[in-house]
Every structure is written in structure tokens, then in C-alpha cells.
């Protein structure tokens, strides 16, 4: 058991409780100016329009439904205007499985092509190295696109399309091996494992179904106790209404939280750096000359920082004057002068005659010098 410490000892310097540093999430609750500018440039403060959200939801929902229901997004493989086969993306689970089984790189590439296309082993062996490379690139790009659909799974689970798929097939989509899909021309595509997104989607649908069930039970309980409690049940009713709105089917709120406003104009008045082309550099240079929104924000920010710096220096000067009334205290820089013998004799004669030599003003550079560079000095240097 820890001993109690008498904080009144040692002159009472331990009498007050130690100050605890606030947690980092409270210290950084408000964004800095740099973070605000970055968010403005990225379009986080500008909500996406409803038309754009609807277009994204339609396009993404169709692709996710195909990925979950079929197990892959299968597309025609074209050579100019002629279709030569079918191709799909290889799931990471399938790639891991191949890595465990196959150690030879050539055999690994062969099995990747056999798994991601409708070609046979004889067709692949007859291809040139350039054709094999281009085919692998197509499979890789389709795999990357399939993985880019993962952030939208949570929003897709709130759609009517997702609920129809869940109540019709459910967990059957998460458990199968070596599924064979026959295409219209008779060729076949093999899918060894379901995609990784299907398990996340099944979990979200399960949680959503359970949440709806709990919501119905809570509504029944509120309707029973509301006549007895009266207005005391209003906060609970408000929470239940908020939960009900979040569980609505085909709601735009989940998509608005995920989809960013990419319909961003380059000449909207804010700096959009990152490009090195002549057009982008000239656009930013003209915006700087004209004084766009970004430049006006930086000017207002600079004036604000200069006012704060002047106020801080004025306060320091007032404290220095209160503590240094004679003006001679403190650390100062002085010039050391060396005299010859003739100059020393003239100085002594002047002193004996009552002529006092002029006192040179002491250089107080050290008193005015700042030991730490402030943000204002940096801003003045780089602007």
C-alpha cells in the first residue's frame, strides 16, 4: 500500500497537486491553419453534389454486386475489335494460395494467367513475352480496381441491392471453392476462393440485421413506458429516431461520408499544387500575381501573426523596463578599444584638466536578440 505524502513539507512547494498534461486528442481538437488549408484544397469542406453521389453510388453498387454475386468482375479480353477471351482480377486470397503452393516464378505467372483468364496452358505457352507481360498488367489493373471497391462496402450494405442479395443468397456467397463460371461462348473462368470483400459485406449485413431487430425491440419498450414516463422518454425517442435514420435503406448519408467532391475546378481561387507542367505552374503564378483566395488567407494570417508578435515583444519590453530601471543591467556587447602611449598621455592630461571624454553608447544587441526563431520571422523570410 502506497504511503501518503505530506505536501506541506519543503516550504509547501509540493502542496499543490501536479498538473497533468491533457491528452493529445484534446490538445489537437481544433485544426491548425496548415491543416485547414490542406482540407480546403482536398475538397473535404465542400460536400459532393447529390447528382455526383448518385452517379458514384450507381456505378460502384453495380460493380460490388457483380463482385459479390459472381465472385469476380469478368470482362471481355479484346485485341483491337476482336474478342480473344475473358479476363478478371485475381483476389489477394488466391494470390496467397498460389504463393504457398508454387515457388517457381515462371509456374506462378502461368497459374496466375490460367486463373485470371479463360486461356488454356497451351494458349499461354504459344504467347510471346510481350503478350504475357501485357496480360499480367491487365490482370493487375483489374485486381487493383477490385480492391478499390473495399471502402464502399459499408455504404453498399445500406442499399436495397445489398439487402436483396443478402436475403436471397446470404452467407452462401462467403463459402465456396473452385467455382467454375461458364461464359456465353462456352469458355470457362475458374474462381478458387471468394473475394475478400464478401466476408466484410456479410459481417456488415449481419450487424445491420441485428441493429434493426434491437431497434424494433427498443421501440416496443418505449411505447410501453412512454405513457408512464411522459416527457422523460423524449431523449430516448430522439436517439431511436437518429438510429432509425442511419438504418434507412438507400440513404445518401453513408455515401456522403465516404465520397469526396472530386468535381473540383483548378481555378476556384485556392492553390492546387503538386503539378510540374508549364500549364499548372503558369496557373499558380497568375493566381499569386492576381491575389487569389489562398494569397488573401496567407496575407491575413501574416498580419495576425505580426500583431501577436508585436504584442509579445511589447510585453517583454515592459517587463524588462520594470526590472532594469537604470538601463545598464543585463548582458550587453561592448567594444574594447586599445590606446597607444601617446593617446594615453593625452587622455590623462585631459582628465587632469577636468575634460571628461564622451561616454559611448553601449551596444545592447544581446538584449534585443531573440534566441528562438519565431513563426513571423520565418514567414517574412519565405514570402
pLDDT at 26 over 50: no
Q: Determine whether 87 is exposed, middle or buried from the number of CB atoms within 10 Å of its CB (0-12, 13-18, 19+).
A: buried
Q: Can you state the percent helix, strand and coil of the chain, rounding each to 5?
A: 60, 5, 35
380 vs 383: CA distance, rounded Å: 6
Its pTM surpasses 0.85: no
Mean pLDDT of 336-354: 84
Whether residue 159 contacts residue 249, with contact meaning beta carbons closer than 8 Å, is answered with yes
pLDDT tens digits, one per residue of 170-209? 888 888 888 888 999 899 999 988 898 898 999 999 998 9
Model confidence pLDDT, tens digit, residues 316-327: 888 878 877 766
pLDDT tens, 8-21? 544 444 445 455 55
Alpha carbon distance 106, 118 (integer Å)? 19
CA distances from 74 to 92, 118, 152, 383 (A): 16, 10, 20, 54
For residue 199 the three cell numbers come to 466476408
Q: Would you say how long the chain is, in residues?
A: 383
177 within 8 A of 192, measured Cβ to Cβ: yes
- Give the cell for residue 343: 593617446
Highest mean pLDDT among 21-30, 195-204, 353-362, 370-379: 195-204
Q: Is 39 helix (H, G, I), strand (E, B) or coil?
A: helix
User: Of residues 72 and 285, which shows the higher confidence score?
Assistant: 72
What b/e string do you get for 280-314 counting C-beta neighbours within 10 Å, with b at 16 or more? eeebbeebeeeebebbebbeeeeeebeeebeeeee
Amino acid at each position: 500500500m502506497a504511503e501518503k505524502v505530506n505536501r506541506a513539507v519543503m516550504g509547501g512547494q509540493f502542496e499543490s497537486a501536479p498538473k497533468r498534461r491533457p491528452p493529445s486528442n484534446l490538445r489537437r481538437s481544433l485544426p491548425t491553419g496548415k491543416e485547414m488549408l490542406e482540407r480546403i484544397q482536398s475538397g473535404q469542406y465542400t460536400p459532393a453534389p447529390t447528382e455526383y453521389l448518385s452517379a458514384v453510388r450507381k456505378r460502384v453498387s453495380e460493380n460490388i454486386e457483380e463482385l459479390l454475386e459472381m465472385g469476380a468482375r469478368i470482362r471481355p479480353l479484346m485485341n483491337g475489335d476482336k474478342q480473344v477471351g475473358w479476363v478478371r482480377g485475381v483476389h489477394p486470397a488466391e494470390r496467397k494460395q498460389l504463393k504457398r503452393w508454387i515457388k517457381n516464378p515462371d509456374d506462378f505467372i502461368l497459374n496466375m494467367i490460367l486463373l485470371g483468364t479463360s486461356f488454356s496452358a497451351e494458349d499461354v505457352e504459344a504467347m510471346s513475352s510481350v503478350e504475357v507481360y501485357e496480360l499480367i498488367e491487365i490482370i493487375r489493373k483489374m485486381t487493383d480496381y477490385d480492391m478499390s471497391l473495399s471502402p464502399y462496402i459499408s455504404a453498399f450494405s445500406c442499399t436495397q441491392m445489398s439487402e436483396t442479395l443478402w436475403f436471397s443468397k446470404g452467407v452462401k456467397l462467403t463459402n465456396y471453392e473452385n467455382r467454375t463460371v461458364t461464359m456465353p461462348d462456352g469458355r470457362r473462368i475458374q474462381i478458387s476462393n471468394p473475394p475478400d470483400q464478401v466476408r466484410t459485406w456479410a459481417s456488415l449485413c449481419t450487424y445491420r440485421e441485428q441493429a434493426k431487430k434491437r431497434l424494433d425491440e427498443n421501440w416496443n419498450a418505449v411505447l410501453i413506458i412512454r405513457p408512464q414516463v411522459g416527457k422523460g422518454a423524449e431523449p430516448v425517442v430522439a436517439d431511436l429516431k437518429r438510429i432509425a435514420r442511419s438504418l434507412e435503406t438507400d440513404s445518401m448519408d453513408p455515401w456522403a461520408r465516404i465520397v469526396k467532391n472530386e468535381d473540383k475546378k483548378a481555378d476556384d481561387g485556392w492553390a492546387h499544387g503538386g503539378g510540374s507542367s508549364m500549364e499548372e505552374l503558369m496557373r499558380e503564378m497568375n493566381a499569386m500575381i492576381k491575389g487569389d483566395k489562398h494569397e488573401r488567407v496567407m496575407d491575413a494570417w501574416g498580419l495576425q501573426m505580426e500583431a501577436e508578435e508585436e504584442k509579445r515583444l511589447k510585453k517583454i519590453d515592459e517587463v524588462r523596463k520594470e526590472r532594469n530601471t537604470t538601463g545598464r543591467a543585463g548582458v550587453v556587447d561592448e567594444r574594447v578599444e586599445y590606446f597607444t602611449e601617446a593617446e594615453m598621455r593625452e587622455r590623462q592630461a585631459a582628465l587632469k584638466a577636468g575634460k571628461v571624454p564622451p561616454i559611448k553608447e553601449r551596444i545592447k544587441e544581446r538584449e534585443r536578440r531573440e534566441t528562438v526563431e519565431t513563426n513571423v520571422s520565418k514567414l517574412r523570410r519565405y514570402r
